[in-house]
Structure 1
Amino acid sequence: MKTLLLVDGSSYLYRAFHAMPDLRNSANEPVGAIQGVLNMLRRLHKDYPAEYSACVFDAKGKTFRDDIYPEYKANRASMPDDLRSQIEPLFETIRAMGWPLIIEDGVEADDVIGALAKQAEQQGIKTIISTGDKDISQLVNEQITVVNTMRDAFRKTDDVLDVAGVENKFGIPPSLIIDYLVLIGDTSDNVPGVEKVGPKTAVKWLKEYGTLDNIVANADSIKGVVGENLRKALPWLPTARELITIRCDVGIREHFDELVQQAPDKAKLAALFDHFEFRSWKRELDNMPDAVSQPSVELAPAGTSGDLFGSPATAPQTNAGAVSTPKAEPKTTNHHYTPNISRQYETILSEAVLDTWLAKLNQAELICFDTETTSLDPLTAQIVGMSFSVAAGTGAYLPLTHDYFDAPSQLPLAEVLAKFKPLLENPTIKKVGQNLKYDKHVLANHGIALNGIAHDTLLQSYVLESHRGHGMDELSARHLGIEPISFEQVAGKGAKQVGFNQVTIEVAAEYAAEDADITLQLHEALSPQVLQDDKLNFIYSQVEMPSMECLFTIERNGVLIDANMLNRQSNEIGMKLMELEAKAFELAGQPFNLGSPKQLQEILFGKLGIKPIKKTPSGAPSTDEDVLQELALDYPLPKVLLEYRGLAKLKSTYTDKLPKMINAHTGRVHTNYNQAVAITGRLASSDPNLQNIPVRTAEGRRIREAFIAPPGSHIVSADYSQIELRIMAHLSKDAGMLQAFANNEDIHRATAAEIFGVERSAVDNEQRRYAKVINFGLIYGMSAFGLAQNLNIERSAAQNYIERYFARYPGVRQYMQDTRELAKEKGYVETYFGRRLWVPEINSANGMRRAGAERAAINAPMQGTAADLIKLAMIAVDKWLKDEQLNTKLIMQVHDELVLEVADSELELVKQKLPELMQSVAKLDVPLLAEVGVGSNWESAH
């Protein structure tokens, strides 16, 4: 049976505009909606091969529905200019891609789609409708299927609504969708339904009475408020039905031979992609087929791959038990290299094949390497298998400990690792991988020190586009146009997921070898982009890659924890929580669940009569932390609740949890530092998070007392003093700030003297406190409103302080303005060292998003430069410790601080050398200052 593929272009256009970042070309023209819609269209013909297709859009102007009901869609805001400007270029590109495009005056896209689908049905042609609009579900029958292909940016499966799918999603068959929508209304089109009747009530009535007509006939017997509302709505319901029903008889007549996809116009596409600056798509044009083949196939499962602009894919083949597995492959993005069209993967099950691959690996210029393991915990994970690739399109999987029933015989783990140890430890044999810090840990668990790490695709992506995701599957889809086999596809999901050792070797080999192959291809795509920019290459090769090696050492070292001390603290906090709970009950006049927002709403805004400050998305009074902070200024109960929440979080996150995370083999806690998370370049600590231990409360500081040094050692803490203000002085070149730091003055006292107009010696503590809030607040983009709240002063006074500040430090104001403009022009700002800090929403039509992006743009160069500096300091300290073969260990990096465990015999040397190393990693226009503290525990080292 032939297939017609219809795309509701209008549905996807709006969704793409609001879902995509505010992407712009260098001419500052918005292109995000264009990219979003084209990306969806590029995939459709691969995933849903069809003989006929069309992309349908709404026409400008009124339709018959506006004549029936003048308020139809009246609730919709006018089209944003940034969206309007993208429509004609999008239409031009869709036509250039070879897609038939239909726009009918006076008729909505839904009606065009309905008419074409019914015509196809009459001719025995199956129809697939791609849309995100639930209304089109009314068309579904045995011949018509609806799919939502834009559910998320990197979907693995689509929402497919056939007859059973509609019933599963809505609780009713497609034949009742119109009745259902009439009852609940359609808020997006401003079509009222029956007041207070939602999906549950509508489905209940339809199941009970069968149809809307029967519900109307029995309206008098329906009790309660909803019954009254139904009876009030009776005169309206026929109009609602007319508005909601898709008209399939609007006289649209398309010859289906006109709906055959045409060959793409490469020249026009090249010009358009140049203009939009879709560089990766431009590079694909050389691989694009000159003509589009027309398959005669049934609906393909979502996720199959094919040529980028529409020709069908060959389904992946596996050759169970064989050594060699050929695999068809879609064409890929050409980033300065030509990918292989076919893939050849092998499974290593014999000594002979192993030796062949070892010889190949030893001779290769670059090896792509990956491990499959028993766990995501790098300190406990054991090897299940290893995969390799030395050329794009090739790969091998070496299974070692698969132990499912009837698993084939595998080479002995110990013997294989002994053979691989010289190769893996050889620093002259270069390796590339995705997140190789993890694999380095896994090999270390087996007594192998992985050396020769030349590249890491995770970090290449992070340096190039820190604002986007860096998972291998996502990178492959974005840069290669390939959607690899996912882990869930081979191991299952959720409770049904099995360990990789339980995955059959045939399936595991295809997945693992592909991982190595794809990672190598990603390196070949990403590396030239890094190398062509000297600043980005510095960040990658001199900051991120060496940081990975340092972080491996820090994670491996771990930190010693006094579990008994934490247990005592946990008990004490538990007693304090009970006291606070009793106090809260007393203030409330009754017991209640302190963790229940609903009960808290009833107490605060009902019983106590406090006026709500803001509401939740559902319309209920909010009790979030910001609300409680504001209420705590005037009421005792919110203050108690805040203290309770803070202590409860300390207990659950740290005093209860940390003792359970002590490694059984090392007796230490080992965090994981994630490099590729924060746009600014800062590290993110997890499992456990050692960077967010609160230090403003006594209880929080006591937790750091449990981070101890072993006998014969001390904890040493070294951090940069006022680093972000120093960076602001350097970046802004403000003469006043530069002079204050050059003279080693107290910057907060200097600022207070400037804005309060007094001698520096006359500045009191309160004035200095105000100045400190202003200094740090303004570099974080704080407004007069925020400053007023922070200092508990009038907004006019806060504005006055800000104006005085900028009058005294005009270079700072100019820097902020220049930074905003630069961010709007480029879409990113840079650190002192050249790290790109992307601000995707800087040109957003949404005022709040844009303002947030402007604040981020101002602060990001300071945070980012500070992150670069502490990484460079960490690298320098780590190198010195290794070069001098000292026993001192780096054990933590927390924001602008390095924490070391120092043998007493080395203490004086380390105290002297640390500041020298940290202060010499870069030369700014102001001196860097590193301060060192020593103690028996982390807290006492401050």
Structure 2
Amino acid sequence: MTESKKPPFILVDGSSYLFRAFHGLPPLTNSKGQDTGAIYGVVNMLKSLIKQYNPTHMAVIFDAKGKTFRDDIYKEYKANRPPMPDELRSQIAPLHAIIEAMGLPLIVESGVEADDVIGTLACRATDHGIDTLISTGDKDMAQLVNENVTLINTMTNQIMDIEGVNTKFGIPPELVIDFLALKGDKVDNIPGVPGVGDKSAQALLNGIGGIDAIYQNLDKIADLSFRGSKSMAAKMQEYEEQARLSYRLATISIDLDLNYKIEALRPQAPDHQQLQSLFAEYEFKRWHSEVTALLSGDSAGSPQGSSEASDKVSSASSSQASSGIPIDKSAYEVVLDQAQFDEWVEKLNQADLFAFDTETTSLNYMEAEIVGVSFCIEPGKAAYVPVAHDYPDAPEQLSRDKVLAALKPILTSSTHIKVGQHIKYDKNVLANYGITLNGIGFDTMLESYVLNSTAQRHDMDSLALAYLGHKSIHFEDIAGKGAKQLTFNQIPLDEAGPYAAEDADITLRLHQAIWEKVSDIEPLKQLLIDVEVPLACVLSRMEQQGVLIDSQKLNQQSQDLATRIAELEKEVHEEAGEAFNLGSTKQLQHILFEKMALPIIKKTPKGAPSTSEDVLQELALSYPLPQKIMEYRGLTKLKNTYTDKLPKMINHRTGRVHTSYHQAVTATGRLSSTDPNLQNIPIRNEEGRRVRQAFVPRAGYKIVAADYSQIELRIMAHLSADEGLLSAFAKGEDIHKATASEVFGVALDEVTTEQRRSAKAINFGLIYGMSAFGLAKQLNVPRQEAQSYMDLYFERYPGVLDYMDSTREVAKEKGYVETVFGRRLYLPDIKASNGARRKGAERAAINAPMQGTAADIIKMAMIKVDDWITTSSLDDVTMMMQVHDELVFEIKEEHVDKHVATIVKLMETAASLNVPLVVEAGVGNNWDEAH
């Protein structure tokens, strides 16, 4: 390639690479089924290209939909090509969005091909004295090569200059069009001249010249030394029109009338915010981690601007993350003798704060056995004490019982402050050994979550990369993957030691990095110290307590469900007129949309009719088959997830089921739970309530469920300060009846059941940012009627409309909204160019403060209730579960009334709003009865 004084002008043939990536790379999909392989291939190519050449000018060009001028010249042009696969078509829009977010000029010109745009821009660049590098896999582009234009095939890293064209085609670049015209192109259906192949075309062009010269010297063809030369002149004469047509089809235009100035085609600053969102959506984990490291906990910071506090977070962490200073592990110790261990115990006793971590045999905290413990007292000074590595030839280790006994005074001390990463797990594991971990001051997972719940995943590996620029040792690196993965006790100490010590070291370093940012923002600091960290201890106690399950009831329900599922399958087959696999999406699509010709409500990214739950729900309003399929799906899921599974989850030691609560998963601050997921047990249907009937108390006790009444509507009244809503709640009115009275203009005592139902839909619809279209579907009324209801609502409650409008504006300005208590809820898509994503973010901006405030309140309530139980040393009441806005207790029968009164009072006074918080408590012999 000719030396250039500047980095070159790079023109990327996006369409060429899109097809090559799609056909040449393994198929990839994300967890939602969206194809991503071609996206990954093209973006990876672009990243490599930019890193290698650092261009001053650049553009990525794609073919537009529809016909081009070549189709007008020749109707059979590219007629042999099959239609673009849906799996590829679905990747174009996401790829374009990522390229734009990367700050790269994207060009799609209708009526022409990407080749023509590239040819024209390359010609203009040459006129500007700018060398051009065309990144393509298309051989036709060789015609553009000259002293200033070079090709690169980024997939093979092969560069083609003038000499390279001669080597590949056996002709100079200026004869490539003639070469293509003579031999034709089956892929593009360029006819060429029958019988002319590579060798004869090369001989003709090198012996005589281009097509014009050949037709002026047909008599010279017979003298050329290639097979068939004697009869070639007649053939050329016969197919002259076809040859000249082929020349026109093969010629890349270099003189299009394009509205692009070369100087303007420059890479811009990437929109890291948008890239983070896109890489998360399409599950490109490494790229997501990289861009998250740049954002460093501030997903609201965008190129257009962000809040001062967010900028502070972003700049500090970006600097640290991008520096990537390697962590010195030379001072790590593996403690194998008593004297060395005694020294570390003394160091821990003297430390103001230390990081602590356990290494175990299982992620299940009820089953996990301690294999070793690690701690760190200052960055770089960490130790691992192995106690149960049992691989062949493992060195002698200190006794687990003796190590834990020596550490117990420190671990149970409230004055020795500890920091951990997801330290609730360690607290639970230690509880299995009779040790109550106290003095938990910080948790790096919770620090990151409070700083920004949506910035990145809050596991240690992600945080180390984001805040320290450090790629930590992954468990898979030392334990392997899949069925052959080792448990920690099987891992040799030369690998286990650095891994475990690094965990503690990284935890301490992360605390120092993140706490500095959290403590600068007072509301977040208070949420962390007063809510999230104490709550982790409350949740640990609840998890260890577990819940009692009546497995016989569940086994009976499983049998009943199996019978009903079989009946439903038969009914579905009869309705469909044939047997088919209800679990097969393709077969279901065929039955619903081909055989029965039901309306297609929505399509999948691949262009197939969707059979998602919301689609079936809508179809079920008018057709019986989708209704039965929905019932079948619901019962099958209930059976597989709960009635079959719960009895198998009963712990052999406690006889109870122990869920895991997660504090750092949802964007709004709400808790989630797994194994089992308590949040998703249905309550609105009989079968779901039967599952709840299997949650029972021990003998002599009752189940008590205490539930916040209409808490999000109350929060809406507080946030909007609307006088009408505040007044209705202050008077203790039925808020849905009150709304119906206002909207429909009738007296409170004259509100009908139907009017109350409509008002309820409006109240809850507005909380979730529902449009008039959505409300119309909900109420099954025309859109105009739904719009008139909303207009009347806002007339009666103008404060709500003001709140919504102002919240959207604040969200756009700051990039986040806040709960009543200052929890920040970032909205990465609030300025998205994609209208659907932007609208979604605006809806979230309205709803998130209500959901987030409700989450904060119930967390505060849990802390107050737990404090009452523990400080009063009560052994006749335990808090067992938290589900949505509800707390579930197990209380001794004779003390139910007294304790329920206290619980209700504590929950109602957990926070102070401009409206009263109301808690309704129920008592029963199972969870369903109590609710």
The two structures have a TM-score, normalised by structure 2, of 0.72
Instruction: Choose which of 136, 154, 158 in structure 1 pairs with 2:154.
Output: 136
Aligned to 1:893: 882
Instruction: Choose which of 913, 922, 926 in structure 2 pairs with 1:933.
Output: 922
Encode CA deviations 1:380-407: one digit per residue, 9 max, x unaligned: 1111111110001221111111111111
Encode CA deviations 1:857-907: one digit per residue, 9 max, x unaligned: 000111011001101111111110111111211000001000000011321
Aligned to 1:638: 626
Instruction: Choose which of 371, 384, 399 in structure 2 pairs with 1:384.
Output: 371
Q: Distance in 2 between matches of 1:81 and 1:598?
A: 30
Task: Answer yes or no: is 1:681 the counterpart of 2:669.
Answer: yes
Q: CA deviation at 1:106?
A: 2.9
Q: Distance in 2 between matches of 1:700 and 1:392?
A: 51
Matched position secondary structure for 2:441: strand
Q: Distance in 2 between matches of 1:916 and 1:284?
A: 43
Matched position secondary structure for 1:829: strand
Aligned to 2:275: none
Instruction: Name the larger-Rg structure.
Output: 2
Aligned to 2:477: 489
Q: Is the Cα contact below 8 Å between 2:134 and 2:152 reproduced in 1?
A: no
Task: Answer yes or no: is 1:463 the counterpart of 2:481.
Answer: no
Task: Answer yes or no: is 1:794 the counterpart of 2:782.
Answer: yes
Aligned to 1:145: none
Aligned to 1:112: 133
Which residues of 2 match residues 284-683 of structure 1 at below 5 A?
308=322, 330-331=324-325, 343-468=330-455, 469-683=457-671
Matched position secondary structure for 2:155: helix
Q: CA deviation at 1:342?
A: 6.6
Task: Answer yes or no: is 1:904 the counterpart of 2:903.
Answer: no
Aligned to 2:217: none
Which residues of 2 match residues 239-254 of structure 1 at below 5 A?
none
Q: Distance in 1 between matches of 2:248 and 2:496?
A: 58
**Greater shift in the superposed pair: 674-683 or 489-498:** 489-498
1:139 counterpart letter in structure 2:
N
Aligned to 1:923: 912
- Closer/same/farther in 2, CA of residues 77 and 692 from structure 1, 3 Å limit: closer
Q: Distance in 1 between matches of 2:653 and 2:318?
A: 55
**Greater shift in the superposed pair: 660-669 or 441-450:** 441-450
Which residues of 2 match residues 823-834 of structure 1 at below 5 A?
823-834=811-822
Q: Is the Cα contact below 8 Å between 2:412 and 2:438 reproduced in 1?
A: yes
Q: CA deviation at 1:823?
A: 0.5
2:663 counterpart letter in structure 1:
Q
Q: Distance in 2 between matches of 1:624 and 1:678?
A: 23
Aligned to 1:22: none
- Closer/same/farther in 2, CA of residues 686 and 804 from structure 1, 3 Å limit: same
Aligned to 1:148: none
- Closer/same/farther in 2, CA of residues 890 and 84 from structure 1, 3 Å limit: closer
- Closer/same/farther in 2, CA of residues 382 and 796 from structure 1, 3 Å limit: same
2:452 counterpart letter in structure 1:
E
Q: Which runs of 5+ in 2 are unaligned?
A: 18-39, 72-91, 106-121, 137-150, 160-167, 170-184, 190-196, 202-241, 254-301
Q: Distance in 1 between matches of 2:640 and 2:547?
A: 20
1:411 counterpart letter in structure 2:
L
Q: CA deviation at 1:603?
A: 1.6
Aligned-residue Cα RMSD (Å) equals 4.4
Encode CA deviations 1:20-75: one digit per residue, 9 max, x unaligned: xxxxxxxxxxxxxxxx9xx999x999xx9x9xx6412544699999xxx8899xx9
Aligned to 1:859: 847
Which residues of 2 match residues 56-95 of structure 1 at below 5 A?
56=55, 58-59=57-58
Encode CA deviations 1:114-157: one digit per residue, 9 max, x unaligned: 79xxxxxxxxxxxxxxxxx995214359xxxxxxxxxxxxxxxx
- Closer/same/farther in 2, CA of residues 926 and 195 from structure 1, 3 Å limit: farther
Aligned to 2:263: none
Q: CA deviation at 1:80?
A: 9.0
Alignment length (residue pairs): 729
Q: Is the Cα contact below 8 Å between 1:705 and 1:939 reproduced in 2?
A: yes
- Closer/same/farther in 2, CA of residues 273 and 77 from structure 1, 3 Å limit: closer
Encode CA deviations 1:594-649: one digit per residue, 9 max, x unaligned: 11111112222222232322222222222221221121122111111111111111
2:362 counterpart letter in structure 1:
S
Q: Distance in 1 between matches of 2:471 and 2:593?
A: 51
2:350 counterpart letter in structure 1:
Q
Q: Distance in 2 between matches of 1:937 and 1:349?
A: 51
Matched position secondary structure for 1:598: helix
Q: Distance in 1 between matches of 2:63 and 2:864?
A: 72
Matched position secondary structure for 1:344: coil
2:928 counterpart letter in structure 1:
E
Q: CA deviation at 1:111?
A: 6.0
Matched position secondary structure for 1:691: helix
Which residues of 2 match residues 189-204 of structure 1 at below 5 A?
194=187
- Closer/same/farther in 2, CA of residues 71 and 281 from structure 1, 3 Å limit: farther
Q: Distance in 1 between matches of 2:669 and 2:442?
A: 18
Q: Is the Cα contact below 8 Å between 2:353 and 2:419 reproduced in 1?
A: yes
Q: Distance in 2 between matches of 1:473 and 1:365?
A: 26
1:580 counterpart letter in structure 2:
L
Q: Distance in 2 between matches of 1:193 and 1:678?
A: 54
Q: CA deviation at 1:239?
A: 6.7
Q: Is the Cα contact below 8 Å between 2:10 and 2:134 reproduced in 1?
A: no
Q: CA deviation at 1:433?
A: 0.7
1:55 counterpart letter in structure 2:
N
- Closer/same/farther in 2, CA of residues 471 and 240 from structure 1, 3 Å limit: farther
Q: Is the Cα contact below 8 Å between 2:420 and 2:443 reproduced in 1?
A: yes
Encode CA deviations 1:351-389: one digit per residue, 9 max, x unaligned: 111111111111111010011110011111111111110
Encode CA deviations 1:76-95: one digit per residue, 9 max, x unaligned: 9999999599679xxxxxxx
Q: Distance in 2 between matches of 1:411 and 1:526?
A: 35
Q: Which runs of 5+ in 1 are unaligned?
A: 16-35, 89-102, 116-132, 142-173, 176-191, 197-208, 214-231, 244-271, 288-306, 310-329, 333-339
Q: Distance in 1 between matches of 2:243 and 2:888?
A: 70
Instruction: Choose which of 854, 861, 866 in structure 2 pairs with 1:873.
Output: 861
Q: CA deviation at 1:308?
A: 4.5
- How much identity, in percent, do the aligned residues show? 50
Q: Distance in 2 between matches of 1:410 and 1:59?
A: 61
Q: Distance in 1 between matches of 2:829 and 2:414?
A: 43
Q: Distance in 2 between matches of 1:496 and 1:71?
A: 57
Q: Is the Cα contact below 8 Å between 2:669 and 2:855 reproduced in 1?
A: yes
Q: Distance in 1 between matches of 2:630 and 2:405?
A: 57
Q: Distance in 2 between matches of 1:71 and 1:413?
A: 79
Aligned to 1:784: 772
1:531 counterpart letter in structure 2:
S
The two structures have a TM-score, normalised by structure 1, of 0.71
2:658 counterpart letter in structure 1:
H
**Greater shift in the superposed pair: 562-571 or 586-595:** 586-595
Q: Distance in 1 between matches of 2:529 and 2:769?
A: 32
1:659 counterpart letter in structure 2:
P
- Closer/same/farther in 2, CA of residues 807 and 510 from structure 1, 3 Å limit: same
1:920 counterpart letter in structure 2:
T
**Greater shift in the superposed pair: 587-596 or 78-87:** 78-87
Q: Distance in 2 between matches of 1:361 and 1:936?
A: 48
Encode CA deviations 1:275-298: one digit per residue, 9 max, x unaligned: 8876467548998xxxxxxxxxxx
Matched position secondary structure for 2:486: coil
